[in-house]
Structure 1
């Protein structure tokens, strides 16, 4: 039986090693390459043509969401499974919008990764069951309108929103994403307008309430 060819993408080598060992326990799956950045993932996808790519979304450079979007723009049949420490609904929505076929937590049971890969290979989608249950409980539940508006952000806007909310300056973001300062400033203006805020402090407040960044 033909093995499922997998590329692992995560910026932490120890994480990739762990998932490689996990996948090695299944004789139907073969890890053919690894990448630590979105840019490298795009190059490897084109060169190796994997059956599926298992990718984190929080990485330096263009990041996972933008990498997914670009890969899927080039290949509409691309199969990408996101595995992330984030379990907020907005991250799942952004990943699926970018073109991912599945989303599981890095804290999920070991056999779930294999199940997700096999399900997606057969043409399905796979979202970890119960992943977002209870996300809006408690006193710090985000206003529904903010959650809804965040879903309207493009993948690039969402990436920049997160970086701004984490306190990074437009100059630092422009260096990290290899975009001009003017481009970042324009994105920042668009994001603030969509969220109906005027300052980065207000952006950060929304991000904290929504759980997409930590205190």
Structure 2
């Protein structure tokens, strides 16, 4: 069965991110990047000028008031598919934008394949959440998603400090300077955290930090 070719609008206020996304999507014959935007005005202008099937949207862009902006887009462009690509892993944000009508939510810490999988799902009229944030809608049998992990893993004060700083995007060197320890010690703590919590990347660590209520930004 022939797959419909999607016209894509990349919306991110960082040109290097837009360049990377355009290059990644160029490998797909079923996708065509037809416009780019660095702020909300650019998005609206592009949508008004031509047919856009898929919007890759960074929530942190100038003029993007997260939920209301997305709701307005859903009202004004009901056929538009929206894929959120963001560094934000806060539970309230994830659930809020999903309720506002986006089709996919992927974090910037995810692998490139996660983004492509999300687009595949959208083409099949399915909703997609990155693995690291699926706790937002999937409780895995718990009334409070992730409680089983929190209950079964006791973190030391130092581990909580490092988890919080990792979730904020701090490098091993930055964390070492902040806590007055060596970068090697930081990396060892990070490895231990992933093993103890059965997590696999920075995005999942950030999600876990949010669940614990640790400061992440």
Unaligned regions of 5+ residues in structure 2, if any? 136-145, 158-209
Kept in 2, the 8 Å contact 1:55–1:64? The answer is no
Larger radius of gyration: 2
Q: Label 1:139 to 1:94 Cα distance change in 2 as closer, same or farther (>3 A).
A: farther
Q: Which of 40, 49, 58 pairs up with 2:51? A: 49
**1:139: how far off?**
9.1
SS at match of 1:82: strand
String of CA shifts for 1:144-199, please: whole Å, max 9, x gaps. Answer: xxxxxxxxxxxxxxxxxxxxxxxxxxxxxxxxxxxxxxxxxxxxxxxxxxxxxxxx
C-alpha displacement of 1:122? 2.0
Distance in 2 (alpha carbons) for counterparts of 1:117 and 1:47: 23
CA contact (8 A) 2:53 2:79 kept: no
Q: TM-score by structure 1 length?
A: 0.60
SS of 2:105's equivalent in the other structure is strand
Pair 1:61–1:124, CA change in 2 (3 A):
same
Whole-Å separation in 2 of the counterparts to 1:139 and 1:77: 49
- Per the alignment, residue 101 of structure 1 pairs with 103
Which TM-score applies when normalising by structure 2?
Answer: 0.59
Decide whether aligned partners of structure 1 residues 213 and 45 sit closer, same or farther in structure 2, where only a CA change above 3 A counts.
Answer: farther
Contact (CA 8 Å) 1:42, 1:67: kept in 2 or not? Answer: no
Q: How many equivalent pairs are there?
A: 147
Structure 1 residue 36 and structure 2 residue 2: aligned? Answer: no
Distance 2:28 2:41 in 1: 28
Match of 1:71, SS state, is helix
Gapped regions of structure 1 (runs ≥ 5):
141-206
In the TM superposition, residue 118 of structure 1 has moved relative to its aligned partner by 2.1
Is 2:114 the partner of 1:112? yes
How large is the RMSD of aligned CA atoms in angstroms? 2.7
Cα pair 1:87 1:132 within 8 Å, conserved: no
Structure 1 runs (4+) greater than 6 angstroms displaced: none
CA distance in 2, matches of 1:211, 1:79: 33
